[in-house]
Amino acid sequence: MAVEISTMERICRRSKAAAAQLRRMTPGAKSAAIELMADALVRRTDEILRENEQDVADARAARRPPAMVERLFLDPDRIMEMARGMRQVAALPDPVGEVESGWRLPNGLEVARHKVPLGVVAVIYEGRPNVTSDIAALCLKSGNAAILRGSTVAERSNRAIAEALAGALADAGVPDDAMILLGTDREELRRLIQMEGLVDLVIPRGGEELKKFLLEHARVPVIYAASGNNHVFVDADADVEMAIRIAVNAKVQRPGVCNAAETLLVHRAAAPEVVPAAVEALTANGVELRICPVTRELLGERAQGMAEATDEDYATEFLDLVMAVRVVDSLEEAIDHVERYGSGHSEAIVTRSLHSAREFQVGVDAACVYVNASTRFTDGGQFGMGAEIGNSTQKLHARGPVGLRELTTVKYLVTGDGQVRT
Amino acid sequence: MAVEISTMERICRRSKAAAAQLRRMTPGAKSAAIELMADALVRRTDEILRENEQDVADARAARRPPAMVERLFLDPDRIMEMARGMRQVAALPDPVGEVESGWRLPNGLEVARHKVPLGVVAVIYEGRPNVTSDIAALCLKSGNAAILRGSTVAERSNRAIAEALAGALADAGVPDDAMILLGTDREELRRLIQMEGLVDLVIPRGGEELKKFLLEHARVPVIYAASGNNHVFVDADADVEMAIRIAVNAKVQRPGVCNAAETLLVHRAAAPEVVPAAVEALTANGVELRICPVTRELLGERAQGMAEATDEDYATEFLDLVMAVRVVDSLEEAIDHVERYGSGHSEAIVTRSLHSAREFQVGVDAACVYVNASTRFTDGGQFGMGAEIGNSTQKLHARGPVGLRELTTVKYLVTGDGQVRT
C-alpha cells in the first residue's frame, strides 16, 4: 500500500530528522555555526537590501500603515544589528545538557534530570524581518530545528535572509533542514499547526487575529505571546517623586509594547498629593488620560476635557499614549482591580511599607510583580537571560520572558545495574 | 445591563476566588488540613462503603466489565490506603514558595523566581474513586483549587468521599470552594474545558475517547496522561541473564500500565543466545509473542503457533501479556525503531558498553531513558518525588511523572528602589 503524505507532513518529518542530529551537536559547534550565520548576514547585506527594497516598495504601493513599513525597512545598520544579536545569542550559556538535578534511589538507581532540546519549534511572525535571524540563532543554540513562517509583506526580505543563513549552515556542517522557511499560504499554516507528534511547539508572534486562528485550529502545543494590561499602584505612603517617575516611565518610555502600563491606581490617602502631580507629569509627556470620578474631583478645573474612565478603558491595552487613572480605597481594592482587569503580565506597586509590598506580591497573580520599579523591565534582555523569543502570560512551561531555557524540555536518564521492580 | 453568566462560569469563578486564598495558606496549615481530610475519610468509612455498594451493584447490573467493577470496589482496607496516601502527600516538601533562582541586575534590581500555585486545576477521571482523595490532597498541598469530575459509574462513591473531605476542609478553615466536585454531565464537561482565563490546567485521567474529546474541544491548557509504547533493547554485549530479567519484569510485572514494555529489540550479535532464552522466560510467564522473521529462524520449531509481528503490532500498546520481538542489525536500527514506533515514555537498553549506553541516551527522545534497569520505574513514587497525578509524554511544562512541583508555575518578584528603564 502506498501511503501518500502531505507536503507539510514531509516538511515536518525533514525537520524532525534534523532535530535528531541537532540534539547531538556540541555547544561549541552550535556557537560556531551561529557566528558563521552572522558573518553571512553581513556579507550578503547588498542582496538582502535589494530584496527588502522591493518589499518596502510593494508595501508602500499597497498603502500599508507607515508603522508597518517602518518595521519592515532594513538598512546596513539594521543588518549589523541583526548580526550582533545573533553573536550575543552565540555567546550565551548553552541550556542543553544542564543537569537540573539528580539523586540516587534506595535501590541504587541513579536518576538525573537533563535539559534537552524540544525538537521542532515553529515560529509564526509578522512584519519585522530581523525575527528571521533572531529565531534562527535561538533555535540553533537551544538545539531545536526551526520552521519559520513570516508574513507576505516581508516575504522577499525573509527569503534573502534565510538564504544567507542557509549557506552558512551548510558551511558549518549543520543539516540543511535545521531551518526551514515556509511560504505564506494560509492553508499551509493550518496544516502546520495540526502536525501532532511532529511539531513540538508553535510560537506565534503576531496580532490578535493570528492568536485567534491558533486557538481555533492548533492541535500542537502553543506558547502565546502576551498582551500586557499592566498597572502601577501608588500606595498610601509611597515616595511621591518615585511614584511619578515610575508611572511616567511605565507609560511613556515606549507605550507600544506589552510591558508598558495602562492604568495608574492611587491609594485614596496618597491621592490628594499624587494625583495632581502625576497627571501634570503625564500630560506634559503627551499622555491622554481617562479618569475616575474621584480623580476628577481632585483635579478640579484641570480635569476639563478629560474623558471618564469606563470599564472598557480599564480592560483595554491601549499600547499608546493613553492611560486610565483611578483612585482606590485600599491596597485590597487595588489588588482586586488588578485581578479583574489585568492580563497577568507585569504589575507594580510603589510603597515604603513592607507589609504592602508583601501583600501585593502574594495577592497579585502575574508573571512579574514589581516593588518600586517600572513594569518596563519585563524582558529577557533586561532580566539578564539573553535574547527572548517572546513574553508569556500563560502559566504552563514558560511564564514571563521566553528565552533559551524555555526552548528546552527535560529527559530523565536513569542508570542501574540490573534493577527490576518488585 | 445585567450580564448573565453560565453556571459553569459561576463555578469556575468560585474556584478562582478560593485559589486566591489558597495561595496564601502556610505549608503547615495545608498539611494539617490534609491530615484532617484523611481522618475524616476513615471516620466516615461506613457511609462511603454504603454508597460504594450501590455503585458496584449498579455497575454489575449494567454488566460493566469485571475489571472496571474491581477498580470501583472499596472496602475498609482500601479506604485506609486512601487515607495513608493523603498523609504521605501531607508529609512531602511544599513546592510553593521555593525560590528557584534569584540574581541582581546591573541597575541593582533584585529578581527572584518563586514557585507559586497554578490556580485552578481541573481533573477529569474515570473509574477508581481513590483518585478523588489523591487529587484533593495533591491540589491542596500545591495550593491549587481543585475542580473534580469523576465518572457516572463512581458517582455515589465520589460524592460520599467528597462530602467527607469537605467537612474536614471546613474544620481546617480552608474555603469551601477549594474543592468542587462536578456532576457527570457531558455538556458541562465541554463548558469546563473552554473556561479560558478561569481554569489554569486540565488533567484528564482516562482513555483515548476522553483524550480525543479534549483535543477537539479544550481551550484551556491540558496535560495529557501518557500512553507508553515502550521498548527494551538488548545490546550486542549485554549480560544475558540481566537482559532477560529486565525484559520479563518490564513486560510481566504489571502488564496493564503505561510503563510496561511492549516490544523486545535484540541486537543481531546477541540474538542467537538472547532470543531463545528470552522467549522461553516470557512464554513461561504467560506472554504471547509476535515475532520477526529472524526471531522465527532462531527459534526453529519453538516458533510454531507464534504470529508474525506486523507494523501494527510494533505500533500497539498491548497493555496485556503480549509482546513483540524483533532482531535489529545495530544500535542505530534499534534507535530508529524506537523513534518510529515509541511514544516517548520509557525506553531501556541493556548493555555493558559505555558507548552504546551514551548513544542510546542521546539518540532516544523519551521522557525516561534507562540503562540496565526496567522501564517499570517510571513513576513519581518510585522516583522519590512522592505521589503523582499522572505521567506525561508531552514536552512542555511536565515530562515524565507529574508530581507536586509540576502543579506549580513561577512568578518573578522584582524589587527595586525606584529603577526606571532608560
Chain B touched by A417 (CB under 8 Å)? yes
pLDDT at res. B2: 64
The pairs formed by B91-95 with CB atoms below 8 angstroms and a separation of 24 or more are B91/B31, B92/B141, B92/B386, B92/B387, B92/B404, B94/B27, B94/B30, B94/B31, B94/B141, B94/B404, B95/B141, B95/B142, B95/B404, B95/B405, B95/B407, B95/B408
Q: Cβ B384–A103 below 8 Å, yes or no?
A: yes
Portion 344-363 of B in contact with A at CB < 8 A: 357, 361-363
Residue A371 contacts B, CB cutoff 8 Å: yes
Q: Where are the alpha helices (DSSP H) in B127-183?
A: 130-141, 155-171
CB B389 within 8 A of CB B403: yes
What is the average pLDDT score of chain A?
94
Residue B221 contacts A where some CB pair is shorter than 8 Å: yes
Q: Which of A65-79, A83-97, B346-360, B380-394 has the lowest mean pLDDT?
A: B380-394
**Cα–Cα–Cα angle for B58, B134, B203, rounded to 5 degrees:** 85
CB distance B411–A339 less than 8 Å? no
**Cβ pair A368:B410 closer than 8 A:** no
Mean pLDDT of A270-286: 98
pLDDT at B19: 96
**B115 and A CB contact within 8 Å:** no
Are residues A163 and A84 in contact, defined by beta-carbon separation less than 8 angstroms? no
Distance between CA atoms of residues B84 and B71, nearest Å: 18
For the cut 70, the answer to whether the pLDDT of residue A3 exceeds it is: no
In the block, which residue shows the cell 513519581? B380
Intrachain domains A8-96+113-225 and A230-380 with the same fold: no
| SS3 category, A382 | coil
Query: For position A205, what pLDDT does the model report?
Result: 86
Tens-digit pLDDT profile for residues B333-385: 999 999 999 999 999 999 999 999 999 999 999 999 999 999 999 999 899 88
Dump pLDDT digits (tens) for A109-161.
999 999 999 999 999 998 789 889 999 999 999 999 999 999 999 999 999 99
Q: What interface predicted TM-score (ipTM) does this complex get?
A: 0.92
Q: How far is CA A139 from CA A384, B123, B408, in A?
A: 19, 34, 26
Residue of chain B whose alpha carbon sits nearest to that of A120 = B395
Cell 554485549 belongs to residue: B237
Residue A373 and residue B239: Cβ atoms within 8 Å? no
Minimal-distance CA residue of chain A relative to B381:
A105
pLDDT tens, B180-231?
999 988 899 999 999 988 999 999 988 888 888 998 899 899 998 778 999 9
- Rounded to 5 degrees, what are φ and ψ at B410? -120, 160
A200 and B CB contact within 8 Å: yes
Looking at 3.40.605.10, 3.40.50.2000, 3.40.50.300, 1.10.3720.10, the CATH number of the domain A8-96+113-225 comes to 3.40.605.10
Dihedral, B155, B156, B161, B162 alpha carbons, nearest 10: 60
Burial class of residue B192 (count of CB atoms within 10 Å of its CB; 0-12, 13-18, 19+): buried
The per-residue pLDDT for B331 is 98
Task: Give pLDDT tens digits for A176-227.
Answer: 999 999 998 889 999 999 998 899 999 998 888 888 899 889 989 999 877 8
The cell numbers describing B384, all together, are: 522519590
A87: CB partners within 8 A, 6+ apart: A34, A35, A38
Q: Verify whether the Cβ–Cβ distance B363 to A20 is below 8 Å.
A: yes
Residue pairs spanning A and B at CB distance below 8 A: 189
Query: Is B14 an 8 Å CB contact of chain A?
Result: no
Distance (Å, rounded) from C-alpha A213 to C-alpha A13? Answer: 24
Q: Which grid coordinates are listed for B312?
A: 501494527
Which among B221, B372, B421 is the nearest to A253, CB-wise?
A: B421
Q: Rounded to a whole number, what is the distance in angstroms from the first to the last CA of chain A?
A: 44
Helical H runs in A318-419? 331-341, 354-363
Mean pLDDT value across residues B302-314: 96
Domain B7-225 has what CATH class?
alpha beta
Rounded to a whole number of angstroms, the distance from the CA of A182 to the nearest CA of chain B is 24
- Which among B150, B147, B154 is positioned nearest to B51, based on CA atoms? B154
Looking at the complex, does the CB of residue A104 fall below 8 Å from at least one CB of chain B?
A: no
- Asked whether the beta carbons of residue A377 and residue B412 sit closer than 8 angstroms, the reply is no
Q: What is the pLDDT of residues B65-82, one digit of tens each?
A: 988 899 899 999 999 999
The tens digit of pLDDT for each residue in A288-321 reads 999 999 999 999 999 999 999 999 999 999 999 9
User: Which grid cell sits at B377?
Assistant: 520505574
Per-domain residue ranges of chain B:
7-225, 230-381
Which of B219, B394, B421 has its CB closest to that of A249? B421
Which one of B242, B353, B413 makes the best mutation probe of the A interface by having the most chain A beta carbons within 10 Å? B413
Q: What sign for the dihedral angle of Cα B368, B371, B374, B379?
A: negative
Cβ–Cβ gap A383/B418 under 8 Å: no
- Partner B contacted by A414 (CB < 8 A): yes
pLDDT at B400: 95
What percent of chain B lies above the pLDDT cut of 70? Answer: 99
CATH number of A230-380: 3.40.309.10
CATH for B230-381 (3.40.50.1860, 3.40.50.2300, 3.10.580.10, 3.40.309.10):
3.40.309.10
Residue A34 · residue A89 · CB < 8 Å: yes
CB contact under 8 Å between B409 and A395, yes or no, is yes
The answer, yes or no, to whether residue B389 has pLDDT greater than 90, is no
Q: Which of A43, A49, A41 is nearest to A156 (CA)?
A: A49
